[in-house]
Amino acid sequence: MRRTRPVPPSPVLLTVLAVATAGSLLLTPHTATADRKPVTREGVEGTGSEAERSADDPRAANTSAGAAVRALTAPVTDLTDRGRGYPREQTLSPDPENPADKSIKLGLIPYHGIAPKLNALQKLGDRVSVEVAGRSAGGHRLYLVTVTAPESAAQTRAQEGMRELIENAPTVAAKSRAVKRSYKAPVFVNNNIHGNEWEGTDASLKLIERLATATDARTRDLLAHSRLYFNITANPDGRIAGTRANANGFDLNRDFVTSSQPEGRAMRQIEIDKQPTVMLDVHGYVNGTLIEPTTPPHGENYEYDLFLKNSYANALGMEAAVNGLGYTPRKDGVEPAQIPFRDQEEGWDDWPPIFTPQYAAFHGTVAAHTVEIPLTVNNRAYDTLPVDELRRRSAINVAVAGAAITGTLDYVRDHRASLVADQIEVFRRGAAGAAQVPVSTTSVPGVPGIGPEDVYTTTFPRAYVIPAGTSAQRSAPAAARLVDQLLANDVRVTRATHAFRLGGRTYAKGSYVVDMRQPKRGLANVLLADGRDISDKVSVMYDISGWSLGRLWGATVQPVDRGSLSGAPLRAVAAATRLGYVAPHGRLRLRLDDPREIAALNSLLRDGVSVRRAADGSAIVPASARGKAVALARTYGVAFDATKATGTATLHRTRVAAAVTSGELFALREMNFEVTPVSTAVLNAGFDWSRADVLFVSQGVEYDGLTPAARMALDAFLGSRGLVGRGAEGAALNSAAGLLAAKPVEGNGDANGVVRVVNSGRSPVTGGAPDHGFVYAPVWFTDLGPGVRVDQSYGAGNPLVSGHWRPLADGSGGPAAAAGQASVVSGPHAVLFGTEPLFRDHPKGEFAQVARALLSVPTATIGTSGEESG
């Protein structure tokens, strides 16, 4: 159920606001009755189509307390669910039986068994509802189950109204007796996000079956005052195949913030629509069972005092429930549960928002946990252990996951009022622009061991501006994409109807403004801010440490520390303004600074349009292709401007042989390159090089591992065509093939983050590129030979803007060693990247550098003077 803004005022919400303000709303949730017939929704799956979004809200927007109240005009749910109570049942069509499903060997439910199981659970009473929240990359349905006491349509509308009140008018919600008395605390249990960590799915199905029929007083009370949401399997592709990743090869528990995958977008929408107070993400395998909260560093953008208070208390309850199962190391191989915040020093942090629980915190979740169940059954264990042992372990894991979930539900039942109050406080602080509260033994009583190493806060700017105008905005397509990403994450964005001044600067009409006095300011800041260099805070990080979309997505974004938005000519937007434009006469110029522009170019080349490259790196399109340009401008939101330039070299359709990561493969295909994956084994089998125009390597091809015939074929191809290499492995192949005289130097392999770079304006690869890049195990190049051009260098001083990059023990490999060194170099038949410009969809603004390298290498000849010819 998608919430979209803006829409006409909702009578339900306005009524709830009025009544809640008066403090007189009383709701009496139903309890389950055995003879009540469930409401059916036969033959219907999903939640309906998303409402079409308009570009501008006719109402002027600001973020005062009055504006927070006016924000209640947002819709409650998709129109298909208006006026419907609970349960909301449907009959799910069966999936074809798949005997190869990897779950079967473990004695767990296969994916094709889930739909029949959910159909049966809905028939047990009137507490269980099922909806299809989306589909996976492989096309499998994502099932979201709701368990709650039955609600009439009026009660459901009141619940949704209170949920909106909590986010959009938190000061009012905090005083509402109706919210305190009657709001059902939402709880979200996410399962199987890593496909080969199976057992959370089975534990949830067992628990749902018990909750559907239990008649004890505690269960009735829980369901009368809570809504429980279960994402049965977040990664059905991986569940079936026994892989961590989905069908696109993405680790879904690294995809939040970018949300490049359909499963991640479905989970994001659940967080927005359901607004859980508490959530669990069930994983495996760590023995003993690992239950967050984490070690430092802690995410600086969320209200960590409220988060730690509830997460630690809930973790203690889960620990007691898990240990209470009675499993022992000697008899069962199960160690006692552990809580990293209490039991570890570092290495299991919650710094990046890419993980499910950390992302949930920005949507008002005040207790969120990764739970790692104990006994390994995947990877090597899956292939080598006897089936009986695997099934013994899986049964224990199901019990442990079930205990953790049950322990959480006990915490929710006993602390519903304070959980809701703390969620309200998260949104109140954001809307009011209130200061964060540093954690301490005073601010978070009852949590032992809090020290200065746990204190992470930030200073929020007054606003962010994404300016309009060719002189102020580097890339209009990038700006539009960024705005749409903010909106998709439920961040509020406005657009200027006239030029205005803010913070001592004038911004053009059409500029976007993100007012940081809004309920989800933490999420806005985590997406747009530079971040922080935390290299001196801890010695090791669990995953990435820098990710700024403000720096990496290619748009110009300006933080504004001071100024008033009162009276500014701003209107709320529900989508970025569409940008497609084609000049009416003459030749056309298409910039190649954004992946959307590259995708449009590759469509033209695939259609046989004769396109030439201009001296500034843009593409010159003949007037005869204007019709195709119109269609592409509409599809990709790009501009084809008029030009008198004729271009210097012909651009050709480029087919890429790629030995790359899953993320890089995804990015190449997003830009409409024709890609054939290759590897050492594929080349040794006799790869047909006539199918490729350029080779892109970041992993998987070892020159020494090639047969003599495969090596000869590769050398011939590289001599007439070329190589784009990324990282240490790409550079190693270049050196082995003797293409480019450049010595690669590997930095600290644990380093990652956002770095300052200096681009050569004369380079067809990096000319006009953003002045920030991303590194993961950074590389730089020295001892450059004749004819080698430096396209990009790391910034002087300390190039790291945000992230974690320390020198190695001998003092080498750090950012100081990289400063001023070449990060991208090129020659007649090769381009080498020491940065990571296609990493996990994070550095969108860097994608075009790789695309321009791929387009240049097959035909470009670079002389010793650095000038391009051919």
Q: Give the pairing type, strands 694-697 and 655-659.
A: parallel
* Beta pairing partners, 496: 570
Return the pLDDT at 76: 36
Q: Is the model's pLDDT at 28 over the cut of 50? A: no
Higher pLDDT, 12 or 544: 544
* Range with the poorest average pLDDT among 27-31, 229-233, 487-491, 570-574: 27-31
Tally of domains within the chain: 4
Judgement on whether residues 659 and 643 belong to the same structural domain of the protein: no
Q: Averaged over 386-391, what is the pLDDT?
A: 98
Measure the N-to-C terminal CA separation of the chain; round to a whole number of Å.
54
Does residue 6 sit within a domain? no
Express each pLDDT in 471-515 by its tens digit: 999 999 999 999 999 999 999 999 999 999 999 999 999 999 999
819 shares a domain with 740: yes
Q: What is the pLDDT of residue 17?
A: 54
Residue 593 in any domain: the answer is yes
Q: What is the pLDDT of residue 478?
A: 97
Q: Identify whether residues 558 and 669 lie together within a single domain.
A: no
Q: What is the mean pLDDT of the chain?
A: 90
Known catalytic residues?
372
Using the 3D structure, point to which of 595, 625, 651 is the last residue of a domain: 651
pLDDT at position 50 over 90: no
Whether the per-residue pLDDT at 70 is higher than 90: the answer is no
Q: Comparing 13-17, 225-229, 688-692, which segment has the lowest mean pLDDT?
A: 13-17
The string of DSSP letters for 774-827 reads: EEES-EEEES--TT-EEEEEEPSS--EEEEE----TTS-SSHHHHTTSEEEEEE
- Domain assignment of residue 78, yes or no: no
- The pLDDT-based confidence of 106 (bands split at 50, 70, 90) is very high
Same domain for 845 and 795: yes
Mean pLDDT of all residues in 624-651: 95
Tokens of residue 105, six digits: 């060997």
pLDDT tens digits, residue range 341-379?
999 999 999 999 999 999 999 999 999 999 999 999 999
**What does the pLDDT average to over 153-167?**
97
User: What average pLDDT does the segment 543-555 reach?
Assistant: 97
CATH number at residue 632: 3.30.70
Is residue 81 in some structural domain? no
- Give the span between the Cα atoms of 27 and 119, in whole angstroms: 30
**Quick one: pLDDT band at residue 81, thresholds 50, 70, 90?**
low
Three-state SS sequence of 577-636: CCCCEECCCCCEEECCCCHHHHHHHHHHHHCCCCEEECCCCCEEECHHHHHHHHHHHHHH
Query: Where among 572, 594, 628 does a domain terminate?
Result: 572
**Rounded Cα–Cα distance for residues 764 and 791 (Å):** 8
Q: Are 717 and 636 in the same domain?
A: no
Per-residue confidence (pLDDT) for residue 374, from 0 to 100? 98
| 456 in a structural domain | no
Coil, helix or strand at residue 427: helix
Dihedral, 255, 111, 1, 28 alpha carbons, nearest 10: -120
726 Cβ neighbours under 8 A, 6+ residues apart = 660, 664, 696, 697, 698, 832, 833, 836, 837, 838, 850
What pLDDT, on a 0 to 100 scale, did the predictor assign at position 616?
Answer: 86
For 606, the domain range is 581-651
| In a shared domain, residues 621 and 734 | no
Rounded CA separation 279/281 (Å) = 7
Q: Residue 46: which pLDDT band, with cuts at 50, 70 and 90? A: very low
Q: How high is the pLDDT of residue 14? A: 52
| Whether 343 and 271 share a structural domain | yes
Q: What's the rounded Cα separation, in Å, for the pair 271 and 362?
A: 9
Give the domain-ending residue among 391, 413, 432. Answer: 432
User: Do 628 and 660 reside in the same domain of the chain?
Assistant: no
**Residue 176 placed within a domain:** no
**The domain that contains 126 carries what CATH number?**
3.40.630.10
Residue 10 has pLDDT above 80, yes or no: no
Residue in this structure with the two tokens 């390597």, named with its chain if needed: 697
Same domain, 617 and 538: no
Which whole number is the average pLDDT over 594-610?
A: 97
| pLDDT at res. 789 | 96
Residue 857: pLDDT band (50, 70, 90) is confident
Contact (CB, 8 A) for 283 and 373: yes
Helix crossing, 662-670 with 595-606: angle to 10°? 60
pLDDT of residue 166: 98
User: Same structural domain for residues 744 and 849?
Assistant: yes
pLDDT tens-digit map of 690-745: 999 999 999 999 999 999 999 999 999 999 999 999 999 999 999 999 999 999 99
Residue length of the chain: 870
Q: Please give the Cα distance from 127 to 223 (Å, whole number).
A: 8
Residue 626 shares a structural domain with residue 659: no
Q: Does residue 356 lie in a domain region? A: yes
Predicted model pTM: 0.91
Report if residue 74 sits inside a domain.
Answer: no
Using one digit for the tens of pLDDT, what is the confidence trace for 789-825? Answer: 999 999 999 999 999 999 999 999 999 999 999 999 9
Q: Which tens digits make up the pLDDT trace of 226-274? A: 999 999 999 999 999 999 999 999 999 999 999 999 999 999 999 999 9
Q: Residue 439 has what pLDDT?
A: 98
- Residue 79: the pLDDT is 35
Q: Do 692 and 723 share a domain, yes or no? A: yes
